[in-house]
């Protein structure tokens, strides 16, 4: 064996052991399986959103300070099997975060405004300014097209409907609302330490699940199941009246778990890793 070939063999051997050691530090529940992870080509990916019709995952990239209006932010397109289709699909944003889709339009939070993007053309259609907003974060959209938006700093949930943005509810005793999802007639709101539900009709709020830790992404599926992430690197499965189960823990590797996306048919979870600049995919087993 040539010396150079021997050195390469040793290097690959050591690299393999290093990667195995890294993987050993990650907690992976038997209820999920790892599918893929992208290369580290994103720029502070904060949110992933799976579009069933387009069969594509949209990824919001902050690409800088999460509260700085620097015009560096952009949206990427990613295939369901982890291939980056277009890194800078839509540019002209500051620090894009949560996303939602309604009638061929992608809506994205962007600090104190909401961007509306035509999915077919990839063009920015307009911005909806939210004058008193400080840190708009997640978005969820109901079947009628009502768009609910969380503001982490002001503890306000806004509603965008028919082109008009209004304050929908001010959470007086709740800190840092972030992840949103809709379950039946309720808006579920992930906060710093619990999940709150607010009735979509009368806006009456009450606690839903306590002691969750800080929530980032929040997914409602089936009748009453939830998946949520806590940004630091944990992923959980929860439902009312049952013990919450940890699905994933990448905190030893300092890999974050930001605003997760979800393929409801295949039960695939898409996790943007923020400072790690990747998206990872896991399938929830039956």
Q: What is the pLDDT of residues 255-274, one digit of tens each?
A: 999 999 999 999 999 999 99
Give the residue-averaged pLDDT of 24-46.
95
pLDDT exceeds cutoff 50 at 3: no
Q: Is 8 left (phi over 0), alpha (psi -120 to 50) or beta?
A: alpha
Q: How far apart are CA 40 and CA 35, in angstroms?
A: 16
Task: Say how far apart CA 50 and CA 119 lie, in whole Å.
Answer: 13
Binned at pLDDT 50, 70 and 90, residue 172 comes out as: confident
Residue 1 lies in a domain: no
SS3 89: strand
The answer as to whether 207 is a domain residue is yes
Parent domain of 88 = 28-284
User: Average pLDDT, stretch 209-234?
Assistant: 95
pLDDT given at position 286: 81
- Is residue 3 one of the residues assigned to a domain? no
By DSSP bridging, strand 261-263 and strand 245-249 are: unpaired
Nearest to 177 by CA among 127, 126, 271, 109: 109
pLDDT digit string, tens, across residues 104-120: 999 999 999 999 999 99
Q: Which CATH number characterizes residue 144's domain? A: 2.120.10.30
Domain-embedded: residue 154? yes
| Domain presence at residue 20 | no
- Overall number of domains in the chain: 1
Q: In degrees, to the nearest 5, what angle opens at C-alpha 283 toward C-alphas 98 and 265?
A: 75
In a domain? residue 7: no
Among candidates 254, 217, 258, which has minimal Cα distance to 44?
258
pLDDT at 105: 98
Q: Is residue 81 included in any domain, yes or no? A: yes
pLDDT higher than 60, residue 184: yes
For residue 165, the tally of other CB atoms under 10 A from its CB is: 18
Check the CA dihedral 36-40-44-45 and report its sign. negative
Q: Report d(CA 249, CA 136) in Å as an integer.
A: 26
């Amino acid at each position: 064996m040539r010396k150079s070939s021997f050195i390469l063999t040793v290097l690959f051997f050591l690299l393999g052991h290093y990667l195995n050691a890294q993987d050993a530090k990650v907690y992976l529940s038997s209820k999920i399986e790892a599918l893929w992870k992208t290369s580290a080509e994103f720029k502070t990916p904060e949110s992933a959103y799976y579009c069933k019709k387009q069969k594509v995952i949209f990824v919001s990239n902050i690409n800088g300070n999460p509260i700085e209006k620097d015009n560096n932010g952009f949206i990427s397109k990613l295939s369901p099997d982890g291939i980056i289709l277009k890194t800078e699909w839509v540019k002209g944003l500051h620090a894009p975060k949560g996303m939602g889709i309604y009638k061929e339009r992608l809506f994205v939070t962007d600090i104190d405004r909401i961007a509306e993007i035509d999915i077919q053309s990839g063009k920015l259609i307009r911005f909806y300014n939210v004058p008193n907003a400080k840190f708009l974060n997640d978005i969820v959209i109901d079947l009628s097209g009502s768009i609910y938006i969380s503001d982490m700093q002001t503890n306000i949930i806004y509603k965008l409907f028919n082109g008009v943005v209004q304050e929908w509810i001010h959470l007086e005793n709740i800190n840092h609302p972030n992840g949103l999802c809709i379950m039946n007639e309720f808006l579920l709101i992930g906060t710093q330490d619990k999940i709150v539900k607010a009735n979509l009709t009368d806006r009456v709020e009450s606690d839903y699940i306590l002691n969750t830790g800080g929530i980032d992404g929040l997914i409602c599926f089936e009748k009453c199941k939830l998946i949520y992430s806590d940004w630091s690197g944990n992923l959980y499965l929860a439902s009312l009246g049952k013990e919450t189960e940890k699905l994933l823990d990448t905190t030893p590797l300092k890999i974050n778990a930001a605003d997760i996306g979800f393929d409801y048919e295949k039960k695939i979870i898409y996790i943007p890793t923020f400072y790690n600049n990747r998206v990872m995919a896991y399938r929830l087993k039956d």
